[in-house]
Amino acid sequence: MHQITVPGSQLERVARTLANNRPGTVIWCMGGTQHHIGTSNTRAYCILQLALGNMGTAGGGTNIFRGHDNVQGATDMCVLSHTLPGYYGLSAGAWAHWARVWGEDLDWLKSRFDTITGADGKPKSLMNEKGIVVSRWIDGVLEAKENIDQPDNVRGMVFWGHAPNSQTRGPEMQKAMELLDILVVVNPYPTVTAVMHNRTDGVYVLPAATQFETYGSVTASNRSLQWREKVVEPLFESLPDHTIMAKFARKFGFADRLFRNIQLNGDEPLIEDITREFNRGMWTIGYTGQSPERLRKHMAYQHTFDRNTLQAIGGPLDGEYYGLPWPCWGPAEMKHPGTPILYDMSKPVSKGGLTFRARFGVERNGENLLAEGVASVNSELQDGYPEFTMAMLKELGWDADLTDEERAVIEGIAGDKTNWKTDLSGGIQRVAIKHEAAPFGNAKARAVVWTFPDPVPIHREPLYTPRRDLVADYPTYADRKFYRLPTLYESIQKQDFSREYPLIMTSGRLVEYQGGGDETRSNPWLAELQQEMFVEISTRDANNIGIRDGQDVWVEGAEGGRIKVKAMVTERVGTGVIFLPFHFGGYFQGEDLRSKFPPGADPYVLGEAANTALTYGYDSVTQMQETKVSLCKITPA
């Protein structure tokens, strides 16, 4: 068994480089997040940047790069199982807010949710409970019903713009697919969802339009929005996502409610109205100032923005930041320029500056959580302050700045208890910013998250670790239940898989392909560049196993999933480590599935999915899957 270590001298060199070259930014992708301690990893990067003084400054910050053009926007809109749009959560107050935004009857919304019996024996509505995350849907199908915090197992699955080969535990996923009552694939390409099972009915493939066949706003990793225009009309039978949603809503009988505020042109909802609806509701993160008109104007005057600062120099958008990065406070009429850098107190809030958010109260264990003696430029409150409410405006005497219309809306919501997140008039935000105060308060950065399993980030050995000597000092968590499902940690880690599976297995991206690879492997120019799935293995390991470069090998994961791929013998990986790209699909444990694709829809390049061999493991807060470290063995095919 090999021991993989980073030399102390290298760590010292990195530390000195960071300390002596400030500001500096920390960038990561899935290599930081896809671990069962991924949340601790990302928090550690943020704490590092705080310690170096690199937060809230140009050239600093922490930046996680997304893998597609609108992943950030999709997250903000709530493709998550535990929150309403804008990260409002699932509390009664959050539902009441969105019911007001939608003009919906709150009691009708409540009637749409089932109930379960809580630990106290009382009924508990699933309306306020976290759902099952996409990484765990297979357990929603396979887990014993009595172990799941919902009345029944998952019986239907819709893969909408999502590739199954980007998820771990392939053999169990295949089994789960075959047990479903219905399986739906919504995608420009069938994806391997359409072929990796052995079903003969109950599978529906709905052709969706690509990003070139529709229009509307998308949000990038830096929180900037762009308004893209349609390049071509949807090809063949494909339809835009929002049109497919409208058809579903009609079929399910609630289209009149879903599109109450949105114009329908035949079957297609008006994108501009959808944008205005989220503008009306997403006060939490400042998704309220980016009207369709403002975003279109940014696209028309792109040439007036400085490429480094992203700020317009002169012209009709002078002083605004490209794409109005959120938070873009208040309604569009306020003309907030957007916030290019989070927590930058060197600028007034009205000009894109920002403090740290007072999200976690004002005091804990007798210690003040608010900022002390610091505030953003020109703020009339030159010290820490909590989140703004109507009561706070009155206490400061600033409520006199509200218009009669704003005051009436605030009174109709919760009176003095109305806060900046639920004030549909935007008056509380407008008045706070008029006095150069941040609507969400001015607090200290929170490095200790007392509500997380590890309040201070610590290392915990992977569930499948070759370093059994480290488990005692860096154990994982106890098994627990959250997001409705039992989640294993200790019960896996206590087993020693490293004798039979001695190699560390990790996975990642290639430059040629994107995501599950269905679109890019169907592109002849990209397919030509990388025609086969492979495993990178070091020269020493290859010679010890007895395999040569280009030879077919079996890679078997510690849970028995196995894939047949080409060996790439290389020094790009260290001894004891193998690397797999995850963009391939269409083969399953040695079986060629090309004949199962709809006629003419099979990609040019097929290959085994790395995640067929990758194993169990989920983050202790988010349930992000652990794809970056597991164990395997390699044998000649």
Compute the Cα dihedral for 134, 135, 136, 142 and give only its sign: positive
- The whole-angstrom separation of Cα 635 and Cα 622 is 35
C-alpha 528 chain-centroid distance: 31
- The whole-angstrom separation of Cα 370 and Cα 362 is 6
CA atoms within a 13 Å half-sphere pointing along the CA-CB vector of 155: 6
- The whole-angstrom separation of Cα 332 and Cα 71 is 24
Asked whether 54 and 22 are in contact (CB, 8 A), the reply is yes
**Residue 500: CB atoms within 10 Å:** 11
pLDDT of residue 386: 97
What SS3 state is found at 134?
Answer: helix
Contacts by 298-301, CB closer than 8 A, 24 or more apart: 298/226, 298/227, 298/322, 298/323, 298/324, 299/226, 299/227, 299/229
The residues, any chain, with a CB within 8 Å of residue 21's CB and separated by 6 or more, are none
Q: What dotted CATH number matches 468-636?
A: 2.40.40.20
Question: What is the DSSP-derived secondary structure letter of residue 320?
Answer: P
CA atoms within a 13 Å half-sphere pointing along the CA-CB vector of 236: 8
The residues, any chain, with a CB within 8 Å of residue 172's CB and separated by 6 or more, are 138, 142
Cα→Cα distances 20→15, 16, 63, 64, Å: 9, 6, 20, 23
pLDDT of residue 31: 87
Of 388, 376, 396, which Cα lies nearest the Cα of 430?
388
**Residue 470: CB atoms within 10 Å:** 15
Residue with tokens 């893209």: 228
Question: Would you give the end-to-end CA distance of the chain in angstroms?
Answer: 22
pLDDT of residue 1: 42
Asked whether 124 and 92 are in contact (CB, 8 A), the reply is no
pLDDT of residue 434: 97
What SS3 state is found at 240?
Answer: coil
- The whole-angstrom separation of Cα 298 and Cα 630 is 46
- The whole-angstrom separation of Cα 597 and Cα 295 is 40
Q: Is 241 exposed, middle or buried (0-12, 13-18, 19+ CB in 10 A)?
A: middle
Q: What angle do CA 298, 299, 302 make, to 5 degrees?
A: 80
C-alpha 421 chain-centroid distance: 22
pLDDT of residue 3: 52
pLDDT of residue 157: 96
Give domain 71-304's CATH architecture: 3-Layer(aba) Sandwich (3.40)
pLDDT of residue 4: 60
Supply 76's token pair: 């903000």
- The whole-angstrom separation of Cα 330 and Cα 349 is 12
**What's the average pLDDT block by block, 10 residues per block, for the chain (637 residues)?**
73 95 93 92 96 96 87 91 96 97 97 91 93 96 96 96 94 97 95 92 94 94 95 95 96 96 96 97 97 98 96 98 97 96 97 96 95 97 97 97 97 96 97 98 96 96 95 97 96 96 96 92 96 97 97 98 98 95 96 94 96 97 95 97
Domain ranges of the chain: 8-64, 71-304, 344-434, 468-636
The residues, any chain, with a CB within 8 Å of residue 602's CB and separated by 6 or more, are 586, 594
Q: Is 416 exposed, middle or buried (0-12, 13-18, 19+ CB in 10 A)?
A: middle
Supply 288's token pair: 């309220």
pLDDT of residue 118: 84
